[in-house]
């Protein structure tokens, strides 16, 4: 089946159901753009509609994003969300416009610019650094399969997004969102707040309208957390839905990539493109699925923040108003050895899979193993360890082999806890189709002195991450300008269901908030909260 045939139903449904109109909002404090297209607050479906109707060209769109990167990321608020740009972006946009003029566009995403987290390879002339100067020359000439899917759809790879170095698997005292290559990513809503990690640059760039959408990766929370604190939609798909070839790894049993956008329909479109238009995620969106649906509310996943709990209670009420039946879930037991077992599994897999990645890179890089990386960081400590150390890297060198009983027992424990005794049990025992909880706590200030200092955690995203089951976060509001999100989880392969549930929730609110680039939160901001 040709790509055009595969996407046709999705395009028809989106056009009919979404009734898309291009927005033209400005960020607070920004000068109106003179460019033919104002991308601020535009969702991906709106962009697709604008290209289709000729409201603007791919060249107009790409130029607008490049201009925003210069004025918002490189100067102005200086978000540090972008590590590198594709020098061929405008040339690719021109080719897309020519295809569209001839009626030969490859998909609804033809001519749409996207950013990739900088641990995902593309065959464009950009290094894949994982935020480390050790990989500054890691230009591989390869597309990760998800990138190939986007490229075959006619999408433009605009550049690479900053990230927590080594996907936040380097130090137990790390600063999320910092890398030696890209610096510290700022949250565009409140600039001194955490952008979270490890897909910090991807989420911040999406929120700040630096691309139509971005691709992040997650091992344990790295799509969900940055998406929620930056006020955007993030989908951590079912593990294995997207191949992880040519992505700098942590743990193959948990690693996955996923879309980060400003709307649920946009996430569905991106997932369609990344999977070769095989599953019709956008075309199957149906907000009515929540009518009569039993939704399990994870009350045990709350923290002690009254304001966050008030937002979550309001989100529950919105779901109930949409026709869902709410089922309260007060507890879920986790064995005391779970945390230790989880860390052991990650360390064991990291050593094996990072060694394989580094040794197999076709680029001329100075490291070919985890041991080489540890030595490189010591030799270049002024740059690489300027803010925090590498205790996780060092301990991973001593992790048990993957064929050992120690590793196998730990893997069995965490899978049973998150699958059989976790999400599967919660769905079955409470007779619910979907689980609902906060996506995380309110983002704290970034602290480069003490490392990450988060409030008591809220949410149950680790169950989805470790089980390999899907998790979707959708904006549910803000607290003093700081975004918070709500998560929807379900069993393996329930990606399409979660997207429809997320769409239903999205329709009850205001969607992704427009960043205000506030310097900080002060006492006046707290009045009335």
pLDDT at residue number 174: 96
Residue 127 DSSP SS3: coil
Alpha carbon separation from 167 to 75, 119, 250, 489 (Å, rounded): 25, 8, 8, 23
Catalytic residue among 6, 106, 117, 186: 117
Residue 387 has pLDDT above 60, yes or no: yes
Residue 35's pLDDT band (boundaries 50, 70, 90)?
A: low
- Of 84, 198, 227, 348, the catalytic one is 198
Does 363 score more than 80 pLDDT? yes
pTM of the model: 0.94
Mean pLDDT of 397-410: 98
**CB neighbour list of residue 26: distance below 8 Å, 6 or more residues apart:** 32, 38, 40
Question: Sign of torsion, CA 425 426 427 430?
Answer: positive
439 is catalytic: no
pLDDT value, residue 1:
42
Q: Region 15-22: what's the mean pLDDT?
A: 32
Place of tokens 């590498």: 390
Query: How does residue 13 score in pLDDT terms, banded at 50, 70 and 90?
Result: very low
- Annotated catalytic residue, options 222, 342, 399, 439: 222
Tell me the CA distances in angstroms from 160 to 125, 211, 268, one per residue in order.
11, 11, 21
pLDDT of residue 3: 46
Cα–Cα dist 47/356, whole Å: 39
- Nearest-CA neighbor of 442 among 297, 307, 317? 307
278-313 confidence digits (pLDDT tens) = 999 999 999 999 999 999 999 999 999 999 999 999
Does the annotation mark 359 as catalytic?
Answer: no
- The structural domains of the chain, ordered by start, are 3-335+410-508 (3.90.1300.10), 338-409 (no CATH)
Active site residue 117: yes
Closest CA to 390 of 361, 360, 367: 367
For 221-241, how does the pLDDT look when each residue is reduced to its tens digit (9 = 90+)?
A: 999 999 999 999 999 999 999
pLDDT score, position 77? 97
What's the pLDDT score for residue 33? 44
């Amino acid at each position: 089946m040709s790509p055009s045939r595969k996407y046709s139903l999705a395009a028809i449904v989106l056009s009919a159901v979404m009734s898309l109109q291009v927005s033209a909002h400005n960020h607070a404090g920004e000068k109106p753009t003179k460019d033919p297209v104002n991308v601020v607050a535009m969702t991906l479906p709106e962009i697709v509609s604008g290209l289709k109707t000729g409201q603007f060209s791919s060249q107009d769109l790409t130029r607008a994003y490049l201009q925003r990167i210069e004025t918002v990321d490189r100067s102005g608020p200086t978000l540090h969300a972008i590590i590198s740009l594709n020098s061929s972006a405008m040339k690719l946009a021109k080719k897309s416009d020519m295809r569209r003029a001839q009626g030969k566009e490859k998909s609804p995403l033809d001519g749409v610019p996207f950013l990739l987290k900088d641990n995902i390879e593309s065959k464009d002339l950009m290094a894949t650094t994982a935020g480390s100067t050790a990989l500054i020359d890691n230009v591989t000439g390869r597309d990760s399969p998800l990138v190939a899917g986007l490229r075959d759809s006619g999408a433009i790879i605009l550049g690479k997004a900053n990230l927590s170095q080594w996907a936040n698997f380097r130090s137990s005292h790390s600063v999320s969102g910092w890398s030696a290559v890209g610096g510290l990513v700022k949250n565009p809503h409140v600039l001194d707040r955490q952008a979270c990690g490890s897909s910090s640059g991807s989420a911040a760039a999406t929120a700040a309208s630096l691309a139509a959408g971005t691709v992040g990766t997650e091992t344990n929370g790295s799509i969900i957390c940055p998406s929620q604190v930056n006020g955007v939609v993030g989908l951590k798909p079912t593990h294995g839905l997207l191949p992880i070839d040519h992505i700098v790894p942590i743990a193959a049993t948990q690693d996955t990539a996923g879309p980060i956008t400003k709307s649920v329909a946009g996430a569905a479109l991106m997932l369609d493109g990344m999977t070769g238009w095989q599953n019709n995620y956008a075309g199957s969106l149906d907000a009515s699925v929540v009518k009569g649906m039993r939704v399990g509310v994870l009350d045990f996943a709350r923290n002690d923040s009254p304001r966050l709990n008030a937002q979550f209670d309001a989100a529950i009420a919105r779901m109930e108003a949409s026709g869902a039946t709410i089922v309260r879930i007060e507890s879920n037991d986790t064995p005391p050895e779970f945390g230790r077992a989880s860390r052991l599994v990650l360390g064991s897999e990291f050593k094996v899979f990072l060694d394989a990645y580094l040794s197999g890179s076709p680029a001329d890089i100075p490291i070919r193993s985890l041991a080489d990386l540890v030595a490189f960081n010591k030799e270049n400590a002024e740059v690489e360890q300027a803010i925090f150390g590498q205790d996780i890297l060092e301990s991973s060198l001593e992790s048990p082999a993957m064929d050992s009983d120690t590793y196998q027992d730990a893997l069995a424990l965490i899978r049973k806890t998150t699958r059989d005794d976790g999400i599967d049990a919660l769905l079955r025992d409470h007779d619910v189709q979907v689980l609902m909880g906060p996506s995380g706590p309110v983002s704290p200030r970034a602290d480069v002195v003490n490392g990450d200092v988060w409030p008591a955690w809220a949410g149950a995203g680790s169950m989805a991450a470790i089980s390999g089951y899907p998790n979707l976060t959708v904006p549910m509001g803000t607290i003093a300008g700081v975004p918070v999100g709500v998560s929807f989880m379900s069993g393996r392969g329930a990606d399409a269901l979660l997207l429809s549930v997320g769409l239903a929730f999205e329709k009850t609110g205001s969607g992704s908030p427009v960043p205000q680039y506030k310097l900080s939160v002060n006492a006046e901001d707290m009045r009335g909260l």
